[in-house]
Amino acid sequence: MAFDFPNPVNELAARTVAALVLGSALAILATGAGWALWALAAGFALRVGWGPRFSPYGLLATRVVAPRLGPPRLVPGPPKRFAQAIGLAVTLAAALAWSLGAPVAAAVLTGVLVLAASLEAVLGLCLGCRIFAVLMRVGLVPASVCKACDDVSGRLRERSAALRAAREAEAA
């Protein structure tokens, strides 16, 4: 089976996954169960490789929670995959630190995960997506990786038109 990732992605599902990661990371910090970082890393690896298809959090988010939150809010997939890859790297580093007897380093790295997951889950601010955008802007990520990301002005025009239409519909 090929490595593929959904494109576009439902932002509501992505935020749900972030909330689940946040809860897990907080539980790991509260209980000191650093071994659970390996399970969290495995979830990130599954999402990076195949999107939500094999990830318990991804399946819960896409099939159970997000459909109950309203209509999908579609966003480009490549930045979300990049963000998941960063989450994988940070979680793997935390798991390795814990396994090698460096609990303070593991806690700090898990704290980074808590911060990023909090921003995504609560505010819809995806740090990995922001980094992806900067890498595109400076040319380290080619435009061909994410055509939708490259055409920000077109998306902004579409979003403005949709907002205008919604306001006019409310006024009528």
Give one DSSP letter per residue of 124-171, joined into a string: ---HHHHHHHHHHHTTSS-GGG-HHHH-HHHHHHHHHHHHHHHHHHHH
| 132/46 Cα distance (integer angstroms) | 20
pLDDT of residue 70: 93
Tell whether 88 is covered by a domain: yes
Amino acid at 7: N
Compute the residue count for the chain: 172
Q: Which two three-digit tokens encode residue 95?
A: 């798991």
Question: Does residue 53 lie within any of the structural domains?
Answer: yes
Distance CA 100, CA 160 (A): 51
Task: Extract the tokens encoding 3.
Answer: 């490595």
In a domain, 156, yes or no: no
CA distances, 31 to each of 27, 35, 135, 150, 152 (Å)? 6, 11, 37, 43, 43
Give the domain range for residue 24. Answer: 9-141
**Helix, strand, or coil (residue 10):** strand
| pLDDT at residue 171 in the model | 81
Structural domain contains residue 172: no
Q: What is the pLDDT along the chain (172 residues), one digit of tens a residue?
A: 556 788 889 999 999 999 999 999 999 999 999 999 999 999 999 999 999 999 999 999 999 999 999 999 999 999 999 999 999 999 999 999 999 999 999 999 999 999 999 999 999 999 999 999 999 999 999 888 888 887 654 555 666 677 777 778 888 7
Structural tokens at position 109: 């790295």
Q: List C-alpha distances in Å: 131 to 31, 77, 83, 135.
A: 31, 14, 8, 6
Q: Which residues contact 114 (CB under 8 A, 6 or more apart)?
A: 22, 25, 26, 29
pTM of the model: 0.84
In a domain, 4, yes or no: no
Q: Which of 36, 16, 39, 20 is closest to 114 using CA atoms?
A: 20
Number of domains in the chain: 1
Confidence (pLDDT) at 43:
97
In a domain, 116, yes or no: yes
